[in-house]
Amino acid sequence: MLNLIVNRLGQSLLVMFGVSALIFFSLHITGDPAALMMPPGSSQQEIDRFRHSMGFDRPLLWQYGHYLSGILHGDFGESLRYSQPVLALIAERLPATALLAVSALAWSSVLGLLLGIVSALRPHGPLDLLCRLLAFSGQAIPVFWLGLLMILLFSLRLQWLPSGGYGTFAALIMPAISLGAFYMSAVARLARASLLEVLQTDYIRTARAKGLSAWRIVVRHGLRNALIPVITVQGMYFASLLGGALVTEIIFSWPGIGRLAIQAIQNRDFPLVQAIVLLAALVFVAINLIIDLLYLALNPRIRL
């Protein structure tokens, strides 16, 4: 067991290393942002002086080594645009994205599970069809489109909710709904499918024959087994959660990491982009690690 954990940790570290190298070199291969950062009207001399002061004219490998050694000291560099340590910037925006992500996951898991359970209890019936339709539409509607439609209806037409901003509960509603829709449907479909499977096993059939209520069966016996694939999927989807958050934050002007990432890319703010990608990779790797361990805990017979 310990061996497995150490092994997975080692793999994760290797992955992080690979990600950092990939991002670093691809960012720097196509040129440096020195000219972009100087105000228009600067002379070539001034641009070159700036380039030299930032170390952009050193060999790439040296720059990468310098970057890595910085990381080991906890220094992820300074944002080229905000002139602040990158970690501080990310730390500032992280709560906003975390709030969004957690809200989205919370409502989508709950509603998804509910829909899945209701569907599985009366499969192929009208209720099942309705739930499946709802779940299906969640996956078919692109995140950004859903967000825009909601803004159209609730902000522009009805003026019930603000079309952007941060700080009030009203501002959280629409972004959380857009972001969570996809996961809600994924959870619902998966819950339904795996519950259906579990409900057909002999073990459950016996319980049913014994006269136990369907609800009790589902909740006490079926769910635990059905949850395994649902949890696994959540892990996989978490990586795309950041991607979905990116677009959602742009649409709703939500001051989170996603919006920061896009601005950083457009401004060629290398240190910031690198740090955000590393962070995203870290989150993904960590979540997958936790999922793997949970997997082990839930079902010790599964080999990793």
Partner 1 sequence: MKRPALKFATTALLFALLPAAAQAAEITIAQAASATAMDPGFLKESATLVDNIFDTMVRRGDDMSLQPGLATEWKAVDANTWLFTLREGVTFTDGEPVNAEAVKFSLDRILDPNSHAPTISYIRTIKSVEAVGDNQVRITTHGPDPLLPTRMSRYPAYIVPPGYVKKVGDSEFARKPVGSGAYRLEAFVPDEKVVMVANEHYWRGKPAIDRVTWRPIPEATARLTALLTGEVQLVENVPADLVPALKNRPNVVLEQVKGGGLTIYLGLKDAEKPLNDVRVRQALSLALNRPAYTQQLLHGYGTPTGTMAGASDFGYLPVPATVQDVAKAKSLLAEAGYPDGFTLRIQAPRRYIASADVAQAIVQDLSAIGVKAQLEVPEWSVYTQQVAAQKQAPVYMLAWGSTQTLDADAALFPILRSGEPYSTVHDATFDTLLDKSRQTVDAGERKKLLEQVQQRVAEQQPLLPLYREDTLYAHSNALVFKGRVDARIPLYDLRLK
Partner 2 sequence: MIEPRAALRRRPGRRIYGDALIGTLLLVVIIAAALLSPWLPLPDALTNNLQEVFLPPGSPGAQGTHWLGTDQLGRDLLSRILAGTRLSLMVVVLSALIGAAIGTALGTIAGYLGGWVDALLMRLIDIQLAIPFILLILLVIALMGASLTNIIVIMGCTSWAIYARVARAKTLEIRELEYIQAVRAMGFSLPRVLFRHILPNLFTPLVVLLTLDVPRLIVLEASVGFLGMGIQPPTPTLGNLIGEGRSYMLLSQWLVLYPGLVIAALVVGCNLLGDALLRRTHTRLE
Angle in degrees, 0-180, between the axes of helices 223-251 and 143-150, rounded to the nearest 10:
60
Q: Kindly tell me which of 84 and 299 has the beta carbon lying closer to partner 1.
A: 84
Q: How far is the CB of 43 from partner 2 (least distance, A)?
A: 27
Tokens 């803004």 correspond to what residue?
151
List the x/- string, 186-225, binding to partner 2 by CB under 8 A.
Answer: ----x-xxx-xx-xx-------------------------
Q: How far is the CB of 240 from partner 1 (least distance, A)?
A: 24
Question: Token pair for residue 7?
Answer: 């092994």
Tokens 């067991």 correspond to what residue?
1
- Integer-rounded Cα Rg, in Å, for the chain is 24
**CA angle, 236 as apex, 104 and 143 as ends, to 5°?**
40
How many residues comprise the chain? 304
List the x/- string, 119-148, binding to partner 2 by CB under 8 A.
Answer: ----xx-----------xx-xxxxxxx--x
Binding test (CB under 8 A) with partner 2, winner from 85, 164, 229, 235: 229
Q: Is 184 in the site for partner 2 (CB under 8 A)?
A: no
Tokens 């793997």 correspond to what residue?
292
Contacts of partner 2 in 145-164 (CB under 8 A): 145, 148-149, 151-152, 156
Binding test (CB under 8 A) with partner 2, winner from 4, 7, 18, 170: 18
List the x/- string, 99-138, binding to partner 1 by CB under 8 A.
Answer: ----------------------------------------
Report in angstroms the alpha-carbon separations of 69 from 58, 74, 79, 120, 249: 16, 9, 17, 54, 33
Q: How far is the CB of 181 from partner 1 (least distance, A)?
A: 21
Contact 120, 204 (CB under 8 A): no
Binding test (CB under 8 A) with partner 2, winner from 173, 212, 239, 293: 239
Q: Is 166 in the site for partner 1 (CB under 8 A)?
A: yes
Distance CA 1, CA 127 (A): 44
Contact 67, 59 (CB under 8 A): no
For 161-174, what is the HEC assignment?
CCCCCCCCHHHHHH
Tokens 């670093």 correspond to what residue?
24
Q: How far is the CB of 42 from partner 1 (least distance, A)?
A: 5
Contacts (Cβ under 8 Å, ≥6 apart) of 142: none
Contacts of partner 1 in 40-99 (CB under 8 A): 40-44, 46-47, 49-50, 53, 81-84, 89, 92-93
Residues forming contacts to partner 2 in the complex (CB under 8 A) are 11, 14-16, 18-19, 22-23, 26-27, 29-30, 123-124, 136-137, 139-145, 148-149, 151-152, 156, 190, 192-194, 196-197, 199-200, 229, 239-240, 242-243, 246-247, 250-251, 261-262, 265-266, 268, 273, 276-277, 280-281, 284-285
